[in-house]
Copies of this chain bind each other. A is one copy, B any other.
Amino acid sequence: MDLPGQVNCETCRIRSCAVEVLDHQELQILKTNCAGAVYKKNERIFQQGSLCSNITYVKTGLIKIHKNGPSKDQILKLVKPPRFIGIPTVLGDKINHYSATALMPTTVCFIVTGIFKTLIMRNGKFANEVINSLCQDELTFYDRSINQMQKQIHGRLADALLFLADEIFLSDSFELPLSRSDLGDYIHATRESVTRTLSRMKSDGLIQMQGRLITLADKEMLVRISKLG
């Protein structure tokens, strides 16, 4: 982790919808209680179980939110910036209920929890935007959760690849930011099953692979596989 020192929220160009509605004075409050940080690939941003007094705002990069389950670690979601994460930690216990780890070089801002709460109390529009964001997360996670449960590996993997292409990289060709093992934790499959399914997709001409570089060759078919489950 690298600390680039003080940030300036007033001139920041990657502001969230929520911060966008703050007035001059509120931005000043935010600015003096906000610190930036830079993370390299695979660096932990915060750790499940540890005490936490900050909300994290992911500005650039890509992170995974993951959590220990009864038998293994599971990736709950990949978070594409810009996005607040860890808001649930404002709750009573102030303990992180999940971990966050950078999958690519990532920049974040930490906002002191108390200040975040103050802004919610003080500015209704801010609160409203935060609520919108939480609601959107909820709906997205419901969808993902149902897909994970009901689709079989081909469908889940197709989902993941389409998500990476369409939501994260905005290109049908990208460097896979996850290892086979991580991909498995993300789509709830074993490393071996991921390998097998990717190989199958390659030999079926759905994707191309050269090392980490993946190209979605037959997107129509991938969408169909995703829909069929």
Contact with B along A68-81 (1 / 0, CB 8 A): 01111010100000
Chain B's closest residue to A144 (CB) is B145
Contact partner, A139, options B88, B136, B188, Cβ 8 Å: B88
For chain A, the count of residues having a C-beta within 8 Å of the partner chain is 45
In the bound complex, do residue A124 and residue B121 qualify as a contact, i.e. CB atoms below 8 Å apart? Answer: yes
Chain A contact surface mostly: helix
Identify 7 new A-B residue pairs, CB closer than 8 A, beyond the known A76-B142, A127-B127: A70-B151, A72-B150, A74-B149, A87-B131, A91-B136, A124-B124, A134-B138
Give chain A's interface residues, CB within 8 Å of chain B.
Answer: 67, 69-72, 74, 76, 87-88, 90-91, 97-98, 117, 120-125, 127-128, 130-132, 134-139, 141-142, 145-151, 155, 188, 227-229
Q: Which residues of B contact A123 (CB under 8 A)?
A: 124
